[in-house]
Amino acid sequence: MTDPVLACAAVFLLGLSTYRFFAGRHRGTTPALRYTCCFAWCFGASLALMAGRTGADIDHGTGLAGLSWMLTDHLKMGSAGFLALAAVSLRRPAADARALRRRQAGVALAVLVATVLFLLARITEVDGQLVATGGAGPAALAGYDLVSVGYVVGCLVTLLRQTLSWTRQADTAALRTALVLITLTAAVGLLWTAWGLDDVLGALRSGRQQSTEDPVSLALGRLCAVLLLAGATTLLWARAGRAARRWRAAYRSYRSLGPLWRALHAVFPQIALAAGPLPFADAELALYRRVIEIRDGLLILRRYRTGETPPAGPEQPRGGGARATDAAARAEAARIAAALVRARAQADTPAEAADPPQAEPSLPPSAGIEAETRWLTQVAQALRTMPPLPVGRTAG
């Protein structure tokens, strides 16, 4: 029966590592990223062997008892070794090439020694158990287990020390959360690996051990996989959350500017930069376009804003705080409404006045798109509460 947790984790890790590896070939990569991809591939492959009947099919297909069990252990050793390599390369990015070579040699040596010990054990399968045969079989099997467990524990201790240091230095909540989850993954991985020490004692006593994971080991493996997936995707979800919040804020501002835009567009339809709305996903671009269209409409409306003092922007009131700003927005909305009425009434004949004090735009261009959006939103909300403008001809 396939374990859904392990299977999902295996598919995710294998897919992610393959994608990142080939993407890195085109966009450039770093040693740490390459080692991390190798870790994800090795660990994902080991989970795939544990998740269902793949391991049993390999054993029956090759006729070699315990082959899938050895492959699973080797993949775990490789994944732990690549994690340690990634930690070392991040800690000392370019200077210590010898440390990296020692780690690489350590991975190869551990796998080689474990393979030799496994072959010396002369494994057969009896009633679902792996049995070491020959005089040196039990000792070789125990040595195999000890090498596998000891190497993985050493690599995870190296990773734990490094992630604890990185967690203390993390400068963002999302990065700190990801590092905490990775640290917990390494800690659970230590427990999971240490649980295999009973195989060493069992091999020495009877030369036997189970060919599959016991319930405790399987539960620790599931927990390790879940924590790893959570840690690996934390930054992705954090970025997605920030993008969703930006989209929501832009969409709300876009909708809030609707009354002011519609009032200007009804009189000056030429302010529309393109026909039809932008796609739903482009809320920030739609907001930017709407602000530009409103600014264009206000610039055209200047011809009809005669005999009035320049409008107050949100930064001009000097007292009263938000109340003063709201009053300024209501006054500006009233001036815009009056100018729109004149524009409709006079159509192609702008009002004349002796040396009129033409109004400036609501905010100077240097105020920035965010400040202008806030101010125009206040004006739009004030305009929305006013009586509807009379319908007339378009102007301009």
pLDDT in tens, 67-95: 888 898 899 999 999 988 888 887 765 54
Helices assigned H by DSSP within 66-194: 67-91, 97-121, 137-169, 173-194
CB contact at 8 A, 251 and 209? no
Least confident segment among 153-162, 241-250, 286-295, 307-316: 307-316
The residues, any chain, with a CB within 8 Å of residue 278's CB and separated by 6 or more, are 285, 286, 289
CB atoms within 10 A of CB 286: 18
Among 269, 249, 245, residue whose Cα is nearest residue 369? 249
pLDDT at residue 314 in the model: 46
pLDDT at residue 190 in the model: 92
pLDDT at residue 361 in the model: 45
Q: Provide the whole-model pTM.
A: 0.66
* Residue 310 reports pLDDT greater than 50: no
pLDDT at residue 394 in the model: 55
pLDDT at residue 326 in the model: 80
**Average pLDDT, integer, range 285-311:** 81
CB contact at 8 A, 377 and 363? no
pLDDT in tens, 98-136: 777 888 888 899 999 999 998 888 888 887 778 888 778
pLDDT at residue 389 in the model: 59
pLDDT in tens, 255-273: 999 999 999 988 888 988 8
Assign 247 to helix, strand or coil.
helix
pLDDT at residue 365 in the model: 46
**Average pLDDT, integer, range 214-225:** 88
pLDDT at residue 199 in the model: 81
pLDDT at residue 173 in the model: 85
* Residue 341 reports pLDDT greater than 80: yes
**Average pLDDT, integer, range 209-216:** 78
- Residue 304 corresponds to which amino acid? Y
Give the span between the Cα atoms of 315 and 363, in whole angstroms. 9
pLDDT at residue 390 in the model: 57
CB contact at 8 A, 135 and 216? no
**Average pLDDT, integer, range 223-246:** 87
Least confident segment among 188-192, 202-206, 213-217, 309-313: 309-313
User: How far is it between the farthest Cα atoms of the chain?
Assistant: 115
Report the mean per-residue pLDDT for the chain: 80
pLDDT at residue 109 in the model: 92
* Residue 344 reports pLDDT greater than 60: yes
* Residue 158 reports pLDDT greater than 80: yes
More confident of the two residues 252 and 33? 252
**Average pLDDT, integer, range 173-186:** 89
Give the span between the Cα atoms of 86 and 156, in whole angstroms. 12
pLDDT at residue 388 in the model: 67
**Average pLDDT, integer, range 199-227:** 84
Structure token digits, residue 337 = 């409404």
Four-residue CA torsion sign, 162, 41, 102, 89:
negative
pLDDT in tens, 21-73: 787 766 667 788 888 888 999 999 988 888 877 777 787 777 777 788 889 88
Give the span between the Cα atoms of 293 and 168, in whole angstroms. 48
Give the span between the Cα atoms of 83 and 101, in whole angstroms. 14
CB contact at 8 A, 379 and 362? yes
The residues, any chain, with a CB within 8 Å of residue 227's CB and separated by 6 or more, are 181, 182, 184, 185, 188
**Average pLDDT, integer, range 221-240:** 87
**Average pLDDT, integer, range 139-165:** 90
* Residue 150 reports pLDDT greater than 50: yes
pLDDT at residue 362 in the model: 47
More confident of the two residues 16 and 210? 16
DSSP 126-138: ETTEEEE-STTHH
**Average pLDDT, integer, range 170-174:** 83
Domains and CATH numbers, the chain: 4-244 (1.20.1070), 257-384 (no CATH)
pLDDT at residue 196 in the model: 82
